[in-house]
Each structure stands twice: as C-alpha cells, then as structure tokens.
Structure 1
Amino acid sequence: MIIVGVDGSRTGLDAAGWAATEAALRQVPLTVAHAVPKWVCEEADGHYAEVGRWLRESAKSVLISARDRALRERPELTVETVLLPGDPRSALVKISENAELLVAGSRGVGGVRGLLVGSVAYGVAAHAVTDVVLVRARPPTPRGEIVVGVDGSPGGVRALGFAFAEAELRGTKLRAVHAWAWPHPSGFEPADRDSELDRSRELNELLAGHRERHPGVEVVPEIVHGHPVEVLREAAAEADLLVLGTHGRSQLAGMLMGSISQAMLHHAPCPLAVIRRDRA
C-alpha cells in the first residue's frame, strides 16, 4: 500500500497524481489521507457544531478531489480515502507505519487552518519509519531519468537500492552522482587526479552489486567536485525523481546526508525520495 497525504493545495493534487502512478507501477492500492483537528471529527452539539460540520464537508471535498485526480491518472487503481484526526505530521507518520511509501506535497497550504505543507514535509521526512516522497515540482511529461545521490553511508546504500528498483520499474536511466569538496577558508580546494580516481573506484564498487541485481538498468556514474546541494540540484534539473538517503556520515567524503536531504527539501527541482537508513 502507498499512502498520499493531501491538503487541498495544487501540490497536494500533484502528489496524489504521482502516488497513483507509483501505486499502479507497483500494483498496490493507494490510500488518500487528509488530517483535521480531532474535534472536527467529533459529532457534537453546541456553539461549534455548525463549524465542525462545515469543516468535515470541506475535508471530504479535499479527499474526493484527490481521489478523482488519482483515478484520472490511473483509472484501474484501487483508491481508498481516510480522514485522520489530529496533527497531520503525526497522523501521517502513524498511518504509514506499515506502508511501502508515504507521499506528500512539499509546498502549499495544508491542514484545515493554514498549516504550511513545508512543516508537514519536514515532519514526515524526519519521523516516518517508511520511505517518503515529497512532490514539489512534478515534470509534466516523463523525462526518462532518475538521479540518486551516492555517499557510501548506510542510508545512501538503501537509497541506491531504491533508485535501481525504481529505474527498473519505470524503464528509465539512472544517474548515480557523488559530489565531493574539501572545505577551505577561501572556498573549496581544487580537485586532483588521484582523488578523482579514488572516488570513481569507490563509486563503481558501490554500484557493482546493484548492477548485477538490475542488469537492465542503464547506469551513468558521475563524480562531481562541488557543493552537494548545488551538484544535486543541477543533476536533477531534468530528472523524474531525485533519491537521497538519510543519516550517517559519508564514507567517501564526509557528506552529511541528513543535512543534504533537508536542504534538498527546499531546492529539489523534481519529486524527492527520502530513503530511511533502516526499515522495520
């Protein structure tokens, strides 16, 4: 099962469309979820009864619109809707514990009372026990390439596995990008030939096992000297999906994937997959 959190915004609808395509490719059902304050879900009399009824109707409208968007993209898909009581971050994290994937929009206005989806994106990316895809900008047509950031950390290794499987599922090329740079008071130290060769060898070693398991995936390894955020943003400019791991210090160049993942929440030019280090 894939779960998509929606909020009535355009990015929420784009997330529902992206999640529908992914669910169809994986041949699993899709659940569309929307969160409202707990009191809204309670049938009650009194001063706020009418407000509660109006908010419940609004929430149902959000769910129906997202379900219809998903079915327009993939009419054959099984789609369910669920109204979640409580804070959208904790509610989505809880409901997604046994899901294959949690999808959400990363911009727009969320919840019922103006909660920024940016804060929801941060919350689910940081605390979900499943893998998360945040849809900020969705290409209007498939571009045929997935980009994965490679750093050698345990989270990065899982990200590689996810990216290879996704590329095979979609029949797309995979670009494996390792960005490296040594900090220096005046900027970054220039690259040298030996460092380039060392990193190229290490990158190909990391890719070797995945290539054997996914022989049909075309892989383009890339070693780029520069700041990881800038390198990944440029690499993903024409991609369908950017895949990053979370947590753990890089064994290749000391890159903190947690901080890079957080930065890419703001800068990713395409949907961003944040892959957990471990799955329960």
Structure 2
Amino acid sequence: MIIVGVDGSRAGLEAAGWAAREAALRRARLTVAHAVPRWVCDELSARYAEVARWMRDEANSVLTAARDRALRERPAIVVETTLLPGDPRTALIKAAEQAELLIVGSHGIGGVRGLLVGSVAHGVAAHARTNVVVVGERPATPSRGEIVAGFDGSPPSLRALDFALAAAGLREARLRVVQAWAWPRPGGFPPADPDTEQHTLQQLKDQLAERQERHPDIDLVPELVHGHPVEVLKEAAEGADLLVVGSRGHGQLAGMLLGSISQALLHHSPCPLAVVRA
C-alpha cells in the first residue's frame, strides 16, 4: 500500500499524480488521505454539527479531486480515500506505519507564503517510520530516464542506494550515484587534488561493485563531484525523475532525526525527493 497525503493544494494534487504512477509501477493499492481536526469527526452537539458537516463536505471534495487526479494518471490502479482525524503530521505518520511509501506535497495551502517546504512535509520526512517522497507543485517535466542517489558511504546512504536501485529497476532508468567530496573549510574549498580524487572515485566504485553485480541490468553510473553536497545534489538532480537521500549521513549529530543535507534538500530539490529511513 502507498499513502498520499493531500490538502487541496497544487502540490497535493501533483503528489497524488506522482503517487498514482508509483502505485502502478509497484502494482500497489493507493490510499488518498486528508486530515481534519479530530472534533470534525466526532459526534457533536447541535451547536457545532453544521460546521462539522460543512468541513467534512469540504474534506470529501479534497479527497475526490485527488482521487480523480490519480485515476487520470493511471486509470487501472485501485484508489481508496480516507479521512484522518487529528494533526496531519501525526495522522499521516500513524496511517503510514505499514505502508510501503508515504507521499506528500512540498507545500500545502496552510503554509506561510514564501516558504519552500511546509510543516507537514518537514514533519513527516523527519518522523515517519516509512520512506517518504516529497513532491513539489511544479508539474513533472519530461523524463530523462534517470534516478539520482546521494551517497557518502554511511549505512543510511546504503539504504538509500538500495531504494534508488529498486526505483531505477521499476522505471528501467539509469541510476547516477553522486558523492560530493572536499567539504568546505574556513576560506572556502581546498583545491582539488587529482590523486586524492582518483583514490576516492575508486573507493566509490568498489563500494558499488557488489550492488552492480546484483543488478546487472541497471546502468549504474558513479560520479564524484568537488563541492558541497547540497549544491552538488541539487545540480545533479535537475531534470531527474527522483532524487534519493538517506535520512542521515556521515557527520550528523547523534539523535538527529533528519540530517542537515536531507533537510536542506527538502527546500531545494528540483525534482521529487525520497528520504529513506535508516
């Protein structure tokens, strides 16, 4: 099962469309979910019954629009709708505990104007137990048939790599595994050293060799780029079908639920972003 959270925003509808395509690839059932305040779903006194009824009608309209969008994308999939009581972040996280994937729009209609990612997207990416995909409000551009995975050798990045391999296999797409090197220090980046670069690139190839053997049909391209990871991955993902990162990587503080790189990419990814749980 795949769950997509919607709220009537443009990003929510784009998320529903993306979720439909993903459900078709995975041959999975799609659940379209919308959260409302808990009291809207409770039995209330006559004083509030009319307001609750109006809010439920509006919520059902949001669900219907998202379901219709999903079915326009992939008419053959099975789509269900559900109304979730409570805060949308906690409600979606709980509903998705047994799901393969939780998908949300990057920015909802209740967000502060000018923010690049909303509180719901940030909340579920940081706290959900399942893998999360955040979809922007821009319609999908023509596919170049490529998945991009951020890699730094950490266990979370290996989990992200496995997710990216599966996504590439479903799409028959190329997988570009990108590792940034030479982190900045006071005064800027150190100059690139050819010997160090070749050694680091060979290490990357060695780390990918086993997975390439297990997935011989996937065109797996290792790439080492001199620069800051956020800027490197942002540029690499321009026009890609999907950017995949681990929830945390090397250098993150113990106890952080979402690393600084994945957190920054929530704001700056130019394509749908998958945050893979560790």
Output the TM-score relative to the length of structure 2.
Answer: 0.92
Matches within 5 A, 1:111-260: 118-136=118-136, 137-249=138-250, 258-260=259-261
Greater Cα shift, 232-241 or 140-149: 140-149
Work out whether residues 147 and 177 of structure 1, in 8 Å CA contact, stay in contact via their aligned partners in 2: yes
CA distance in 1, matches of 2:110, 2:75: 26
Percent identical among aligned pairs is 66
Work out whether residues 126 and 258 of structure 2, in 8 Å CA contact, stay in contact via their aligned partners in 1: no
Task: List per-residue Cα deviations over 1:14-39 (Å, max 9, x = no partner).
Answer: 00010111011001100000000000
Q: Which runs of 4+ in 1 moved over 4 A?
A: none
CA distance in 2, matches of 1:209, 1:83: 44
How big is the shift at 1:185? 1.7
Task: List per-residue Cα deviations over 1:61-113 (Å, max 9, x = no partner).
Answer: 000110111111111100100000000000000010110000000113159xx
Task: List per-residue Cα deviations over 1:215-244 (Å, max 9, x = no partner).
Answer: 111122110000111111110012010000
Unaligned runs of 5+ in 1: none
CA distance in 2, matches of 1:144, 1:192: 32
Is 2:52 the partner of 1:75? no
Cα distance change on mapping 1:90 and 1:202 into 2, 3 Å? same
- CA RMSD after TM alignment: 1.8
Task: Please tell me the residue identity of whatever aligns with 1:195.
Answer: T
Unaligned runs of 5+ in 2: none
SS in 1 for 2:199: helix
Aligned residues: 269
Task: Please tell me the residue identity of whatever aligns with 1:36.
Answer: V
CA distance in 1, matches of 2:82, 2:262: 29
Output the TM-score relative to the length of structure 1.
Answer: 0.92
Cα distance change on mapping 1:5 and 1:170 into 2, 3 Å? same
The equivalent of 2:41 in structure 1 is 41
CA distance in 2, matches of 1:183, 1:72: 46
Work out whether residues 246 and 258 of structure 1, in 8 Å CA contact, stay in contact via their aligned partners in 2: yes
CA distance in 1, matches of 2:72, 2:183: 48
